[in-house]
Amino acid sequence: MDPTPPRNSSVTVADVARMAGVSKATAARVLGGYGTVSDRVRDAVTLAARNLNYRPNELARSMTTGRSGTIGVVVGDIENPFFSLAVRGITDIARQAGFTVILTNSGENTETEKAAIRTLLAKRVDGLIVSPAKESDVDHLKDAIRSGCPMVLLDRGSRALGVDTVVADDGQAAEGITRRLIAGGHRRIAYLTACDTPDHCFRTSSDISTGSVRRRIEGFLRACREAGLAGMEAWVRLGALAPEETQRIATAMLTAKHAPTAIIASDSVIGLDVFKVCRTLGLDIPRDLSLVSFHDADWTAVTTPPVTVVRQPVYQLGETAARLLVERLNGDGGPASRVVLQTELVERASVADLSTEEMPRASE
């Protein structure tokens, strides 16, 4: 009997078993990676599968093993270099552990995030890594956890969920760079973020639903209060959601009578747009404006001048989140952990020390 299946049929486990000269159950154990067989049998089945160009039926395998071999990842903006690098860290660890990553993009929209979670659960992912768009709206994540799907939060935490979380020390980083600017004579310091409120005005940190940004703003304001600067909440500018909005906000600030002498960009996408606005307006960095950006994106080191940044351990954030999830999938039942990774201030040439002449305070 010819053991080779007809050319117009898909190759099955039974076809591999016939070619290898073993039972279907034995071939299934080898191809599914469960049970024990001898090295000779494993080699025979593997060779037969390769010769037949066998491709496993993932749905059937998931029904047999209870695993799909996939991890679902939901991030806020895949075009942001921060998330791109974090996802690289996730996929590298996932691949080493034998998992495939299914990536979805929420666009920082909670409804889109909810739809993405539903889709990933329908695909029977083994676990989830999520950067929640809003920490105040996580009932859908609670439902996913209750369904038995392990979850790790990336860059943004939520104590309401009680799951493993990996973040950077955003608050301390913002506090440190603000102190650096104040020590250099800056008093009109703006913090620019994509986060927003219905009226586009910042009042308290509770207005900010993204945890990483909230921690940065709190650090910024702590350093300002420590230095005796009043009314600095007015220098927190919201709504830099896209290049057009960022450029409009930055242009309005930089052409105002009391323009900021320094801007802290909440991410490198915003930082690049502020840099472009300065070029358009003919402003010199750092003589006319000192610029600092969160995230050490490639462009920040090659501009003239190169930009001072808060370097975040982005790749390590993704790596750590994936490792925690893989440990859960491998049976770790310990209490949820919160991992805080350290950032680093990389000083370049975009920050100027002002003269000792007293600068107007933000409240003046």
User: For residue 357, what is the DSSP state?
Assistant: S
Q: If you average pLDDT over residues 52-66, what whole number do you get?
A: 64
pLDDT exceeds cutoff 50 at 170: yes
CATH class of 170-312+345-363: alpha beta
Q: What's the pLDDT band for 34 if we cut at 50, 70, 90? A: low
> What's the pLDDT score for residue 35?
67
- Least trusted range by pLDDT, from 54-58, 88-92, 244-248: 54-58
More confident residue, 12 or 188: 188
pLDDT exceeds cutoff 90 at 28: no
Domain boundaries, given as residue ranges, for the chain: 13-56, 68-168+314-342, 170-312+345-363
pLDDT exceeds cutoff 90 at 61: no
Q: Distance between CA 189 and CA 178 in Å, rounded?
A: 8
> What's the pLDDT score for residue 310?
97
Number of Cβ atoms within 10 Å of the Cβ of 111: 12
CATH number, domain 68-168+314-342: 3.40.50.2300
Q: Where are the beta strands (DSSP E) in the chain?
A: 70-75, 100-105, 127-130, 151-154, 164-168, 189-192, 236-237, 262-265, 290-294, 308-311, 338-341, 344-346
CB 268 within 8 A of CB 293: yes
Number of Cβ atoms within 10 Å of the Cβ of 21: 13
Q: If you average pLDDT over residues 232-254, what whole number do you get?
A: 97
**What is the average pLDDT value for the chain, to the nearest integer?**
90
Q: What's the pLDDT band for 24 if we cut at 50, 70, 90? A: confident
As a whole-number percent, the residues of the chain with pLDDT over 90 amount to 77
Can you identify the CATH homologous superfamily of domain 13-56?
Answer: lambda repressor-like DNA-binding domains (1.10.260.40)
Q: Which amino acid is at 110?
A: T
- Least trusted range by pLDDT, from 1-10, 217-226, 306-315, 344-353: 1-10
- Least trusted range by pLDDT, from 23-37, 78-92, 282-296: 23-37
pLDDT in tens, 289-299: 999 999 999 99
Establish whether domains 68-168+314-342 and 170-312+345-363 are of one fold: yes
> What's the pLDDT score for residue 142?
96
Instruction: Quickly list H helices, 24-164.
Output: 24-32, 39-51, 58-65, 81-96, 110-122, 139-146
pLDDT in tens, 332-355: 889 999 999 999 999 999 999 995
pLDDT in tens, 101-133: 999 999 999 999 999 999 999 999 999 999 999
CB 163 within 8 A of CB 153: yes
pLDDT exceeds cutoff 50 at 166: yes
pLDDT in tens, 185-221: 999 999 999 999 999 999 999 999 898 999 999 999 9
Q: If you average pLDDT over residues 143-156, what whole number do you get?
A: 95
Q: What's the pLDDT band for 60 if we cut at 50, 70, 90? A: low
